[in-house]
Structure 1
Amino acid sequence: MPRRKSVTLQTLASELGLSIHTVSRALRGMPGMSEETRHEVLSAARRLGYRTKDQEHSLAVEHIPLFPNRKRRFKLMFTGNSVYSRLNQILLEGLQDKLAEYGHTIDMLMIPSSFDKGESFDSWADQNSLMYSDGIFIPPMTDPIKEELLLKLPLPRILFNFPPPAAEVDSVIWDVGTAVRLSVRHLIANGHRSILYIGNIHNQRGFRLRWQSFVDSMREAGLDANPELHITKAISEKEAWIASVQDSLVSLRATAILNGVHNNLAWIYHACSTLGKRIPEDYSLISLQHERDEFLPQLSRPSLAIRETGVRGAERMLWRLANPNLPYEHIMLQGTFFEGDTVKPLKA
């Protein structure tokens, strides 16, 4: 692998089989190429250690050394079954790639759902040498009680979530509010005014924000969004949930569906098919997905910057270590919208 000092635009262009002009435009965020090409360029730049002059200047301003003398160790915390979540795996990929550029490492650490008899969170943290790490990352879906304990630790912390009120922590999260607004606007632009929202609005702060963004977007278009007419609870009994979806589609006279939680997608298709309806012929569909679905590559969806959140979280951790006394910051990463083919214009 080329040394960092020897990596040039020509190196990246040759590696990818692209022109220097295309590589340069991708690195500067200029339009005129597919998202796949841009992603390939940025991934290669990270892998080979290439940085633009602006990036190096930004690191210098934030006091983050390009080649640190000390190799740091971080922890990504998990609770329950969240360790198996594809979302957290994508976050971890972003974290590992960015931290590896500086020679740092990150390990996963599982917090048990319950401690052994007589054991406390503090004693568990001591046994796992948690306080000897250089910082911790707290992912979404962390149990609220465990999250509160982690936020009280005297360690640099990055929260991958919308922060609780008055939380003393830096946070980085993908902007689901804008993702929902882009989705509603796309459906309305295609003539759909009766839109069924499907997605649990409880348990997670991000879930509640998705619903509120849906309500606000509908109201801005002069439309109502009564929660009693939408599917806002988690799937418990699948048959009852499917029947509720079918009843809501009929009672709303819906022409479109906005799915706010990714793991509902297969059940939505099942509910429509058993009703004798098809997507997109009978119902247009937009779904918030963690990543591109290989079985539905043309699914209309907002792009959620989950991996990029991991990368930005690593950068924010290094910034916090270099600037321990500056105010906390809350960062939201906005994605684009992929139109796909599951939304069709509504015929008059």
Structure 2
Amino acid sequence: MADKRGVTIRELAQAAGVSIGTVSRALKGQPGLSEQTRSQVLAVAQQLGYDTAKLRTGKPRRVLFLYSRSIGSLASNPFYSYVLHGAETACREAAVPLSLLSVLGGDDIAAQVRRHEADALLVAGYLEPEAMEAVRQCELPLVLVDHFYPGLRCVNDDNLRGAWLATHHLLEGGAQRIAAIFGPLVHHSVSLRAKGFRRALFEAGRLFDPDYEVVLDPSLDYRDAARDAMRRLLALPAPPDAVFVYNDSTALTAMEYCAEQGLRVPQDVRFVGYDDIEAAQHGRPPLSTVRMDKEALGHVAARALIEGEESPSDTPLPVELVVRESSQAAPAPPPSRAGKRRAAG
């Protein structure tokens, strides 16, 4: 007999001694389960009075694009604007409405989701653990993009390889003191970019120096944090001659700070960013960066929701290095006339 508040799918999974995913497949009649397991789940569901009307059949009626306000507005964070556009395109192609919601950990996320009348969630970017748990408790089909959570479908680009490509490019160009600027390392994509940076150094036989890896100060405004990170690197006894930056917006601000300090890019310090936002090609100088198809991230995630592909997938979307002026090695100076005469003699 069901209690007055209704049984959740989590409670049903605990009572049946199986995972939430197994309960979902059993109740939806999806393949991949033994008949014994399916019968066990259905029997427990009937015993507890689980409301099977909660289950979605067919494509969703409305997808909710959900992201954390901690990343700022979508206007100030162009990366997620591209992701949103890709998701909106996929939903429009499938004739499924898409709505937008920003949240923080202290919000009543379940109530806000209910007000949107969504029956599928696309979560973009990092969510604080409290917010992530609240999202999962909504018990709706869920796909993450630019984030990772065990057991959930996650759509990411190849962050590890992208950072390796950027750092390897700087190494090949002859940089001797390569530094890095990162955002919060709790973010899945940022932690993988840090790992790719360190791997490239290790494979090149370079010792990792923690002084050359700076994390943005979370207490500062975004632009101020980027300027502060570059200031700290330039204050080192041997300042870097190249910097890999975890995203383009931060890289462009760090380059501006270098120019204010009288440093030339790339002659004095070279830069490679990440994301290939539109502003990168208009930097002074144009910014080398790692390009991924940002709209594809949103499109793939939304299609997975619409088509019911919610099981985990470990295949990241490909990336490529885009080399522009900011990372070009300075050409060797021409030999002096005296040098030419000695060579001729």
TM > 0.5 fold call: yes
Change beyond 3 A, Cα 1:262–1:234? farther
1:153, distance to aligned residue in structure 2 (A): 3.0
Establish whether residue 295 from structure 1 lines up as the match of residue 276 from structure 2: no
1:211, distance to aligned residue in structure 2 (A): 1.0
290-299 or 90-99: bigger deviation: 290-299
Identify which of 132, 136, 139 aligns with 1:147. 132
Counterpart for residue 234 of structure 2: 246
Amino acid aligned to 1:111: V
Amino acid aligned to 1:345: A
Change beyond 3 A, Cα 1:151–1:282? same
Q: Aligned equivalents of 2:288 and 2:252: distance in 1? A: 15
Establish whether residue 77 from structure 1 lines up as the match of residue 66 from structure 2: yes
The answer to whether the Cα contact below 8 Å between 1:78 and 1:139 also exists between their aligned partners in 2 is: yes
Q: Normalization by structure 1: what TM-score?
A: 0.68
Q: Aligned equivalents of 1:188 and 1:346: distance in 2? A: 14
Structure with bigger gyration radius: 2
Change beyond 3 A, Cα 1:122–1:266? closer
Q: Aligned equivalents of 1:334 and 1:275: distance in 2? A: 36
Q: Aligned equivalents of 1:226 and 1:147: distance in 2? A: 34
Change beyond 3 A, Cα 1:285–1:123? closer
Identify which of 73, 76, 99 aligns with 2:91. 99
What are the residue-to-residue correspondences of 1:100-115 with 2, within 5 Å? 100-111=92-103, 114-115=106-107
Counterpart for residue 256 of structure 1: 242
Establish whether residue 285 from structure 1 lines up as the match of residue 278 from structure 2: no
Tell me the secondary structure at the aligned position of residue 327 of structure 2: coil
Tell me the secondary structure at the aligned position of residue 169 of structure 2: helix
The answer to whether the Cα contact below 8 Å between 1:151 and 1:168 also exists between their aligned partners in 2 is: no
The answer to whether the Cα contact below 8 Å between 2:83 and 2:294 also exists between their aligned partners in 1 is: yes
Q: Aligned equivalents of 1:295 and 1:74: distance in 2? A: 35
Establish whether residue 310 from structure 1 lines up as the match of residue 298 from structure 2: yes
1:253, distance to aligned residue in structure 2 (A): 4.6
Identify which of 313, 318, 328 aligns with 2:312. 328
Amino acid aligned to 1:92: L
1:161, distance to aligned residue in structure 2 (A): 2.7
> Gapped runs of 5+ residues in structure 2?
1-57, 333-345
What per-residue deviation string (whole Å, max 9, x for no partner) do you get for residues 114-172 of structure 1? 44xxxx5444444x154xx33110010333311222133322111013313xx221110
The answer to whether the Cα contact below 8 Å between 2:276 and 2:290 also exists between their aligned partners in 1 is: no
Aligned residues: 266
What per-residue deviation string (whole Å, max 9, x for no partner) do you get for residues 276-320 of structure 1? 21001111211113513153283211102211111111222233x
What are the residue-to-residue correspondences of 1:205-220 with 2, within 5 Å? 205-220=188-203
Q: Percent identity?
A: 15
Change beyond 3 A, Cα 1:186–1:305? same
Amino acid aligned to 1:299: L
Counterpart for residue 222 of structure 1: 205
